[in-house]
Chain A
Amino acid sequence: MKRLAVLTAAAAFAALLIGALLDLPAATLDLRPLLAEAMPVSGVAHPVTAVLLNTRGYDTLLEIAVLLVALLGVVVASARADVTGDPGRTLAPPVATSADPMVSALARLVTPLAVIFAIYVLWAGAHRPGGAFQAAAILAAALVLLHFARIVPACAAPSRGLRIAAVAGFAIFLAIAALPLAGGALLQYPPAAAGLLILAIESGLTVSLALVLAGLFLLLADDPGGRR
């Protein structure tokens, strides 16, 4: 009965939403001409990258902070009461000592390709779809695959080195955001250096976000012997 009421309400809401959207007139304001005007000084040739890292770069800065908080949340959740060792330790690969040979072979084959492809996607972001988020997702997938092949262990909490690497991209971004404050606004790149600065931010983010994304998985994967 309760489920039926919820379903009816959800369906009614969806119908209302679809009805409103179907005959939605064109948006009153079109930002595309404005963005096109800004493209020459944005430092990149692809409009999506220009929006993400230049005109609305401040949003992206805060989004990276959100991802770091998500990682912290997983660290908190995976820190179990029965773990008393020092927080930086890593656990041995659980249970089986050797992985499925197929998975191992695949991981060894795919990982170098994934690294090359990630670098290409990062570089391509300046003029076509791509960029740090996509490159980081590819690297993170490679890390998870390496974990399944028992090459990368899961860990209870990230060691200091891992923490530094996970924060480095955010720190570079933050520093580049703060530097223009001396003479202008937050994240106001000098047009001549914009391309280089965006590449520096994206390169840092690729490494750090890959670790954060993989960390979201690998920290929760730490479950030796199914103790939970």
Chain B
Amino acid sequence: MTERFVMLAPLALPLLILLPLAWAALAFVLGAGRGSRLAIAAAAVQLVLAFALAAAVMDGGPLHHAAGGWGAPLGIDLVADGLAAAMLLLTQAVALPLFIFARGYFHQDGAHPDAAGHHFWPLAGFLVAGMNALYLSEDIFNLYVTLELVGLAAVGLVASGGGAAQTAAALRYLFAALLGSGAYLLGVALLYGAFGSVSMVTLTPLIASASASAGAEAAEVALIAALLMVAGLLMKSALFPFHFWLPPAHGGAPAPVSALLSALVVKASIYLVLRLWLGPLAPLLTPLAWLPTLLGAAAILWGSWQAIHAERLKLLVAYSTVAQLGYLFLALPLVGVGSTGASASAIVTLQALAHGLAKAAMFAAAGIIIHATGRDRVDDVAGIAERLPLTLFTFALAGVSLMGLPPSGGFLAKWLLIDLAMARGHWPLAAVILAGGLLAAIYIFRVLRLAFLNLPEAMIEAEHHKARVVPRSAEWMAFALAAASVLLGLFGGLPLLQLVDGVGAGTP
């Protein structure tokens, strides 16, 4: 069984890109609202492929695939290392339950899908294909193409919500995304002009030697390029103060879309920042490592503060994303190995996975609650505990991971991060992480406290009457995501850290 798994792995690189492209195109041909079964079946196959890939990378180290058979620098290489394999696993593991959730969410009235779901399936397919391609690419121009694929598909998904507010949010998102990828592309053009290659493997030694020789013209251009690329990606990653587009876009979209965007899409550009910062651009950017960290700390405090004061439930969850993304930038100055042996990038990956699973669950739960109450206000959650116990439990479980309570994945990531910060003597970072957890507890308990309020009997009757029902399968899928986020801390955390750090690679 395991052997067959590993044999499948080299093919998993191209298949994880081609398969979603194929079903997205097919779903487009099938037409409005169709293609959900196809998407779910394909997502299940993709999840198996991602597991096979992670297992093979864990056993034998990174896998390569030269598209076209040329190899870099002439061709484009696909590379799956531990970090890429972990992110691919997150993407497929969130996509499958979310697709089943979306099928229930959009098809509540049987045959007639909700208008908001008309274009969900093809757009979601292209989105997943773009993210998978992004995680696997080793070529900075090819990465630009994948960024555009992800960005445009995400904008389309936000706009599919239908109303004027959604269209406005989608347009704002489009402008932010285009500005971000435009800056990135300008940086790529400068690097190509200076060094004549767009392959990361080829560029890394060239940039290192250019920046080592003081006063080289190429080094100056490379620094401008590096700043442009990172600034563009930070815009797409919604790092404070570039977060302005995120709350309306994520808070206004249909629940399955919000969940996909918050759990996965923002992680893609953050992954790229990490990859470039620790890879080819490291000699240029290392002195600046504290800048994103300071912004990340500000994001944690500001995002949590906004979440505490949000009036709409989905806006609360969206601001919580702004805060949780901040943690991913705290580790940049901590590169190296801490007392526990896990590297900063492995801990960041664990936080990304824990947040991705928890946030997908929380947006899905918020969507179910909003469907049931008919209104998107935090105050309307009152009394929901009695009507939707499973969904409320899902919301609370996801909250446990966001707050960083044991034994969740969020706890493990934050604890390791504090440990690493203390080992380096950066206690203010530890303080920010603790404060962030406390603030998260305030906004989560704000919802939970209301949910357990006892409403008068008559009011419950009235509420029951107008309740629209979301299928049971959708509720269970949201629960599965939340449970996965908690179980990640118990069972998945250590293997994941080993996968990213390459511990055990090469040993049979």
Binding site for B on A (CB under 8 A): 16-17, 20-21, 23-25, 27-31, 34-35, 38, 54-59, 61-63, 65-66, 68-70, 72-73, 75-77, 79, 81, 87-88, 157, 160, 163-164, 167, 170-171, 174, 177-178, 180-181, 184-189
Q: Are A54 and B68 in contact (CB under 8 A)?
A: yes
Q: Are B152 and A70 in contact (CB under 8 A)?
A: yes
Q: Which of B141-157 touch A at CB < 8 Å?
A: 141-142, 145-146, 148-149, 152-153, 155-156
Measured between beta carbons, the chain A residues less than 8 angstroms from B69 are 180, 184-185, 187-188
Q: Are A63 and B145 in contact (CB under 8 A)?
A: yes
A-contact 0/1 string along B56-79, CB 8 Å cutoff: 000000000111111001111010
Measured between beta carbons, the chain A residues less than 8 angstroms from B29 are 160, 163-164, 167
Measured between beta carbons, the chain A residues less than 8 angstroms from B435 are none
Which residue of chain B has its CB nearest to the CB of A67?
Answer: B152
The CA-CA distance from A164 to B194 in the complex, in Å, is 43
| Segment touching A, from B216-224, B281-289, B369-377 | B216-224
Measured between beta carbons, the chain B residues less than 8 angstroms from A55 are 68, 70, 74-75
Q: Are B162 and A59 in contact (CB under 8 A)?
A: no
Q: Are A73 and B159 in contact (CB under 8 A)?
A: yes
The CA-CA distance from A17 to B220 in the complex, in Å, is 10
- Give the most central of A65, A87, A167, A178: most B CB within 10 Å: A65
A-contact 0/1 string along B2-25, CB 8 Å cutoff: 000000000100110010011011
The CA-CA distance from A80 to B21 in the complex, in Å, is 27
- Give the most central of A20, A157, A167: most B CB within 10 Å: A20
Q: Are B221 and A20 in contact (CB under 8 A)?
A: yes
Interface status of B506 (Cβ within 8 A of chain A) = no
Q: List 23 A-B contacts (CB under 8 A).
A: A24-B193, A24-B221, A28-B218, A29-B195, A31-B73, A31-B196, A31-B197, A57-B68, A58-B67, A58-B68, A65-B130, A66-B149, A68-B25, A72-B123, A72-B156, A73-B156, A73-B159, A76-B119, A77-B159, A77-B167, A164-B29, A174-B18, A187-B68
Q: Are B145 and A69 in contact (CB under 8 A)?
A: no
Q: Are A69 and B68 in contact (CB under 8 A)?
A: no
Q: Which of B187-211 touch A at CB < 8 Å?
A: 190, 192-197, 202, 206, 210
Interface status of B354 (Cβ within 8 A of chain A) = no
Min C-beta distance of B207 to chain A, whole Å: 10
Min C-beta distance of A214 to chain B, whole Å: 17
Interface status of B32 (Cβ within 8 A of chain A) = yes
- Given contacts A69-B156, A79-B118, A177-B18, A24 and B217 within 8 Å (CB-CB): yes
The 3 nearest A-B residue pairs measured at CB: A27-B196, A29-B196, A188-B69
Measured between beta carbons, the chain B residues less than 8 angstroms from A170 are 21, 25
Measured between beta carbons, the chain A residues less than 8 angstroms from B349 are none
Apart from the given pairs A24-B218, A29-B197, A167-B29, 15 other A-B contacts in the complex at a CB distance below 8 Å: A28-B195, A28-B196, A29-B196, A29-B206, A31-B196, A31-B197, A68-B126, A75-B119, A76-B159, A81-B163, A87-B32, A87-B118, A167-B28, A170-B25, A186-B14
Which one of B141, B156, B159, B167 lies within 8 Å of A59 (CB-CB)?
B141
The CA-CA distance from A170 to B197 in the complex, in Å, is 28
Binding site for A on B (CB under 8 A): 11, 14-15, 18, 21-22, 24-25, 28-29, 31-32, 65-70, 73-76, 78, 115, 118-119, 122-123, 126, 129-130, 133, 141-142, 145-146, 148-149, 152-153, 155-156, 159-160, 162-163, 167, 190, 192-197, 202, 206, 210, 217-218, 220-221, 224
Q: Are B146 and A171 in contact (CB under 8 A)?
A: no
Q: Are A25 and B218 in contact (CB under 8 A)?
A: yes
Q: Are A186 and B142 in contact (CB under 8 A)?
A: no
Q: Are B76 and A59 in contact (CB under 8 A)?
A: yes
Measured between beta carbons, the chain B residues less than 8 angstroms from A73 are 152, 155-156, 159
Q: Are A181 and B11 in contact (CB under 8 A)?
A: yes
Q: Are B31 and A186 in contact (CB under 8 A)?
A: no
Measured between beta carbons, the chain A residues less than 8 angstroms from B162 are 81
Which residue of chain A has its CB nearest to the CB of B70?
Answer: A55
Min C-beta distance of A80 to chain B, whole Å: 9
Measured between beta carbons, the chain A residues less than 8 angstroms from B224 are 16-17, 20
Measured between beta carbons, the chain A residues less than 8 angstroms from B67 are 57-58, 185-187
Which one of A16, A27, A66, A76 lies within 8 Å of B193 (CB-CB)?
A27
- Given contacts A29-B206, A58-B142, A167 and B76 within 8 Å (CB-CB): no
Which one of A38, A87, A180, A181 lies within 8 Å of B31 (CB-CB)?
A87
Q: Are A24 and B194 in contact (CB under 8 A)?
A: yes
Measured between beta carbons, the chain A residues less than 8 angstroms from B28 are 68, 72, 163, 167
Which residue of chain A has its CB nearest to the CB of B164?
Answer: A81
Measured between beta carbons, the chain B residues less than 8 angstroms from A21 are 190, 193, 221
- Give the most central of B11, B70, B119: most A CB within 10 Å: B70
Measured between beta carbons, the chain A residues less than 8 angstroms from B156 are 69, 72-73, 76
- Given contacts A34-B73, A68-B25, A184-B69, A62 and B195 within 8 Å (CB-CB): no
Min C-beta distance of B495 to chain A, whole Å: 29
Min C-beta distance of A207 to chain B, whole Å: 15
- Give the most central of A70, A73, A77: most B CB within 10 Å: A73
Which one of B21, B74, B146, B152 lies within 8 Å of A38 (CB-CB)?
B74
Measured between beta carbons, the chain A residues less than 8 angstroms from B206 are 28-29
Measured between beta carbons, the chain A residues less than 8 angstroms from B190 are 20-21
Measured between beta carbons, the chain B residues less than 8 angstroms from A184 are 69
Min C-beta distance of B48 to chain A, whole Å: 17
Measured between beta carbons, the chain B residues less than 8 angstroms from A17 are 224
Q: Are A66 and B145 in contact (CB under 8 A)?
A: yes
Measured between beta carbons, the chain A residues less than 8 angstroms from B75 are 55-56, 58
The CA-CA distance from A28 to B144 in the complex, in Å, is 22
Min C-beta distance of A86 to chain B, whole Å: 9
Q: Are A65 and B74 in contact (CB under 8 A)?
A: no
Measured between beta carbons, the chain A residues less than 8 angstroms from B145 are 59, 62-63, 66
Min C-beta distance of A14 to chain B, whole Å: 11
Which residue of chain B has its CB nearest to the CB of A62?
Answer: B145
Measured between beta carbons, the chain B residues less than 8 angstroms from A81 are 162-163
The CA-CA distance from A69 to B196 in the complex, in Å, is 30
The CA-CA distance from A120 to B156 in the complex, in Å, is 35
Measured between beta carbons, the chain A residues less than 8 angstroms from B195 are 27-29
Measured between beta carbons, the chain B residues less than 8 angstroms from A160 are 29, 31
- Given contacts A66-B152, A160-B29, A167-B29, A185 and B197 within 8 Å (CB-CB): no
